[in-house]
Chains A and B, each alone.
Chain A
């Protein structure tokens, strides 16, 4: 059974086709990594899954709730609202909000005593944890992570990626993990989809796509990804 299913989704803004007839399945309990250059339509596709953008054609099916974590933790939290309230706001009515906020903060390795802090008192990595806790507050089956480590420093990125992996396994979440960084996608994903100018050009098990890429563009991406022991040759 699948948890999130894009079926022939097309999104047009005026004459510009941002997403072009995309079909993609996120199987239950798995992480699908979506790579591709900026402007290739990754975020627009994600936005159709949470209702921020309506597909021009096609449909998105989800079993259970879909939540999303945004790229920039500096703008995705209301600067005037305590982090506890931001998390509580996403909970269904009738929950014991205080206890639940504490539990979620604990889950993302933050001190529950900080629930009353404003986001300004937190570092980027801590804010991204809060954003994760808020996404989990709605008790989703599917979480979409859109470039969630791109705005973070490398020293913090690792901790957030570890957390994402732990939570996904612990809660059995299905996940669409979007990033332009192939190394990051490789680290968290079970399957990898490659997007270029609005279309998915290749999709398959992570190990296979990365070891034996079929599409020219995937090969290019792999060749361009920085590796520590190779030097860039100047022709």
Chain B
């Protein structure tokens, strides 16, 4: 997925934009206020001591008759400057402490890490006060106190981020190439964690600013004759019952500036989190469809995402009772999204529309959860994430029947054991009491199928159920699906990127490309009668145990388009040896060619036979 927004995307949100404006104003004040109004803020006027607000003095005057409004403006430089200085020192120290363990010998790294872990446990302000006492009152002491209060959380953040990057293969690859530890850190680790660090530093600057005001207010920060907002606040507070303005001015300044930093940081963080999101598009208009349906009837199914991304573009097919249908295609062709749409599992902001999407004669959108939950079973590629790791397998299976069929606990557990046995898990009673991690990958996948069997599924949708498994286990799982279909007369929709897997088990194959079905045909005819150039190319590209070892493998040049790249014409045209002008301008529809065979291609049979 490509980020649809650039670095300045943060300015496009209202919060981001207004906080950015505030920050610019603050910086301008910090730079220019002392030059423009430094004299007026320092001018002592013995004729007007401790006055309230007036036209001459917007926020009144202090005990030496100096104008508080101008003093607040001029104090911007010192306040922001010190806050930033503290932040920079704190962040840099944190960065060093957080990243240095990766270049230190192991024992030293451990000491640094545990020191950081202990320091993180103390509240920041407490640390600041503690350091303020150690470093003594005064500006330098306060800067260091706040800096070191920020340090531990930054060190921790750096550690976590570094750890998450260090596990990636590109770090291992660089190490194998002989890249040293220091260069590894500066060239590979830090650039990859810079963005979240900068965002957190902005947030930290906001807290540093308020913390600093607090210290000055308490009298252990900036000392006279210098003044920052905290000191002005402290001075104003003494007279708050006589006139509130002298305290309100600096207080508002502190709040506004603190907010500006925090909101900007939050806005940047949320942009960082949703770099991929864009604008929603209008769905297509549904059309009346009266063609004959089956157990599962899908007509003109579309799945759209914000930003005009349409990964599934008008998919139509029918699954009849007891059929085993294969769906093949490269990753990104829309196989999984089609399956998820059928099971009502597309989440916001995705949108599903269809002329017809019916299961058992009823629109899927209107089917009750309980009905869908017991009659339609879904098996995913990665069974590890589909089970709750903290609960026993048997209990998790039983829950399905308790919730959907109102079975008692004991009866449900009995059924769970029965279903585990049905998927050929040895010693099902003992296994039912085990946790998911005690199961091997293949067994977990079988348990997942068993969970689907807790209801009385009429349709099992299996999305790449064997991709994460080894060939020997893969065969077991495929056999299991085939047996469920035979014994229970359930239909199976088997999704796979591997055309040989589908060829071995299914009755019919749907070939998907760029969000559409481009060919549908009986499996028996796959190797003899496939017509679409993409299908025939796929069949030739997959090596098997009979492939000629001395000839180069057949390849399909180029790559499939991303959902955002689909333009006019046949989406396979850039890779198709037969493409002509018509192919490049008009997209062919899926049309019937003889019995049970549909193809979306402009070329006639004789032309296609030439490339088979």
Q: Give A residues with C-beta under 8 Å from B.
A: 37-38, 50-52, 67-68, 70-72, 75-81, 86, 89-90, 120, 123-125, 131, 134, 137-138, 153-159, 161-162, 165, 180-184, 186-187, 210, 220-222, 224-232, 234-235
Most buried by A among B486, B544, B547: B544
Q: Knowing A154-B541, A155-B330, say if A70 contacts B172 (CB, 8 Å).
A: yes
Q: From B50-58, B102-110, B155-163, B552-560, give the one contacting chain A.
A: B552-560
B170 touches A37 (CB 8 A): no
Chain B residues near A180: list those with CB within 8 A.
Answer: 470-471
Interchain CA distance A158-B559 in the complex, whole Å: 13
Smallest CB gap from B546: residue in A: A227
- Tell me the residues in window 138-190 of chain B with beta carbons closer than 8 Å to chain A beta carbons: 168-170, 172-179, 187-188
Sorted from nearest, which 6 A-B pairs have the closest CB atoms? A37-B470, A90-B177, A158-B553, A76-B169, A226-B500, A155-B556
A182 touches B545 (CB 8 A): yes
Q: Which of A38, A161, A231 contacts B504 (CB 8 A)?
A: A231
B177 touches A221 (CB 8 A): no
Q: From B66-74, B350-358, B475-483, B580-588, give the one contacting chain A.
A: B475-483
Chain B residues near A78: list those with CB within 8 A.
Answer: 170, 174, 187-188, 191-192
A228 touches B475 (CB 8 A): no
Chain A residues near B441: list those with CB within 8 A.
Answer: 38
A157 touches B174 (CB 8 A): no
The verdict on B474 contacting chain A, using a C-beta distance below 8 Å, is yes
B553 touches A80 (CB 8 A): no
Chain B residues near A131: list those with CB within 8 A.
Answer: 173
Q: Which of B331, B497, B504, B537 contacts A232 (CB 8 A)?
A: B504
Interchain CA distance A79-B192 in the complex, whole Å: 8
B471 touches A224 (CB 8 A): yes
Smallest CB gap from B328: residue in A: A154
B554 touches A75 (CB 8 A): no
B554 touches A229 (CB 8 A): no
A–B complex contacts, Cβ < 8 Å, 10 sampled: A89-B174, A153-B330, A154-B497, A154-B538, A155-B555, A155-B560, A162-B553, A186-B543, A227-B546, A234-B479
Smallest CB gap from A158: residue in B: B553
- Least CB distance, A180 to chain B, in whole angstroms: 6
Q: Knowing A52-B172, A75-B169, A80-B191, say if A186 contacts B545 (CB, 8 Å).
A: yes
- Least CB distance, A83 to chain B, in whole angstroms: 11
Report how many A-B pairs have Cβ atoms within 8 Å. 166
Most buried by B among A137, A157, A183: A183
Chain A residues near B538: list those with CB within 8 A.
Answer: 154-155
B553 touches A134 (CB 8 A): no
Smallest CB gap from B331: residue in A: A153
Known: A51-B176, A181-B471. 6 other contacts (CB 8 A): A70-B173, A89-B187, A158-B541, A183-B542, A224-B472, A226-B504
A154 touches B175 (CB 8 A): no
B176 touches A50 (CB 8 A): yes
The verdict on B430 contacting chain A, using a C-beta distance below 8 Å, is no
Interchain CA distance A195-B544 in the complex, whole Å: 20
A187 touches B547 (CB 8 A): yes
B545 touches A225 (CB 8 A): yes
B192 touches A80 (CB 8 A): yes
The verdict on B499 contacting chain A, using a C-beta distance below 8 Å, is yes
A123 touches B559 (CB 8 A): yes
Smallest CB gap from A126: residue in B: B559
Q: Knowing A81-B187, A229-B527, A232-B479, say if A125 contacts B559 (CB, 8 Å).
A: yes
Chain A residues near B483: list those with CB within 8 A.
Answer: 234
Chain A residues near B486: list those with CB within 8 A.
Answer: 234
B330 touches A228 (CB 8 A): no
B499 touches A120 (CB 8 A): no
Smallest CB gap from A131: residue in B: B173
Smallest CB gap from B527: residue in A: A228
Q: Which of B170, B501, B552 contacts A162 (CB 8 A)?
A: B552
